[in-house]
Structure 1
């Protein structure tokens, strides 16, 4: 179990990252930017059914087929990941997505790095701090999820399907960016517990909402936007 010490039982709820209703930016401002993986604390696994093995001992859908809809290409190793497109945020934020480990192996899932940079001439505050950098965000189909790469997640080895759903503390985190500063997050790509397959091949789009405003703005101030990217697993 991965537990956030700042969590309160009465405030815990499943948060599909990206929701901004009823939450606001915090006033005030410091300097600096987050380090890779920062702001990723807070998940607690919740049980979900474990798939029944197939007659040949494998997992459902794990047939080695590299055709569309399969779970992994033929041969050793898992799917390789390539970046198809990035639909970046509006100014003053600029985004970059970099593949760190583009191929799933028996030891680790694919990993990528998301970077947000303040291209403006004044400091800004960005929220929600985790969702804006795609921590705990599912793809549009719900079959894949991005989790902090430095976390320990209960997943089927060499398949990288989570054994349990992930609960995230219901709080609104922010981070500040000075002019020219960047905040990054290293993310591991997992198949969600809601699917009965391993990492599915094909194109998958991730999108998230964010809020950005001046560091000294009143609580609730700031513009809401959306950005995302598409990857191909093959």
Structure 2
């Protein structure tokens, strides 16, 4: 059973807006002009690429950006498995790219995992961008993903600060259990999502038997890199 324990340290803070497999045995074809093998010709039976395959890629209407995950850190040296995947790789006006984060307890006993929000990359920023919650997190199932009505402009940027309650919470995970949650990618400071690579990282702490009053049993930093690219969906 998932429990949430939090120590209230303050009231509201705010996000400061800142910024197929080939065959090497295929014989070479001969150039008809010279009757000599020509390694630059395509293999027999291959007339080269189909022009239709060279057409522009199609995107959902209104798409302005596409996001991909280009790097993730190795498994940390604490008994947690952390994974990140794309829930929605496209950004459009009012609909940011979304990611799904999952944290699994690999130990033989119950662990408290904190910080509660940072563990799922909620409110974690990088170079003028920030990841914000998209719905509630869930334990041992996929979360229900929703897109909150954050104050944004037409190019994925927040137009106002986001209030954040100041407390330290944990996820209490029995052995083998996982917690999962979705986040959306936004630009800060009323800016726009810009093409480039963005490195996000957070620090994990574990507590034996889920007791945040006990001494930390482990700590590690884990992160990933996103690539943002502008696209033309017209």
How far does the alpha carbon of each residue in 1:152-177 deviate from its partner, in whole angstroms, 9 at most, with x for none?
311113x1100112231110111111
Compute the displacement of 1:126 (Å). 0.6
Match of 2:85 in 1: 98
Structure 1 residue matching 2:119: 3-state secondary structure: helix
Compute the displacement of 1:77 (Å). 1.6
Compute the displacement of 1:76 (Å). 4.9
Compute the displacement of 1:15 (Å). 6.5
Question: Aligned pair in 2 of structure 1 residues 233, 197: CA closer, same or farther (>3 Å)?
Answer: same
State how many pairs are aligned.
Answer: 169
Match of 1:145 in 2: 130
Match of 1:35 in 2: none
Which of 114, 119, 123 matches 1:127? 114
Matched, 1:112 2:99: yes
Contact 2:172/2:210, CA 8 A, preserved across alignment: no
Compute the displacement of 1:13 (Å). 4.7
Q: Output the TM-score relative to the length of structure 1.
A: 0.65
Could you tell me how far apart the structure 2 residues matched to 1:121 and 1:184 are? 20
Which of these two proteins has the greater Rg computed from alpha carbons?
2
Name stretches of at least 5 consecutive residues in structure 2 with no aligned partner: 1-5, 19-60, 136-147, 230-234
Question: Aligned pair in 2 of structure 1 residues 106, 126: CA closer, same or farther (>3 Å)?
Answer: same
Contact 2:122/2:183, CA 8 A, preserved across alignment: yes
Which of 153, 156, 163 matches 1:156? 153
Structure 2 residue matching 1:213: 3-state secondary structure: strand
Which of 203, 208, 220 matches 1:225? 220
Could you tell me how far apart the structure 1 residues matched to 2:212 and 2:188 are? 37
Could you tell me how far apart the structure 2 residues matched to 1:225 and 1:212 are? 9
**Which structure's residues are more often strand, by fraction?**
2
How far does the alpha carbon of each residue in 1:91-122 deviate from its partner, in whole angstroms, 9 at most, with x for none?
31011101010010234000010100111111
Q: Output the TM-score relative to the length of structure 2.
A: 0.65
Match of 1:208 in 2: 202
RMSD: 2.8
Contact 1:78/1:105, CA 8 A, preserved across alignment: yes
Name stretches of at least 5 consecutive residues in structure 1 with no aligned partner: 1-5, 17-45, 50-74
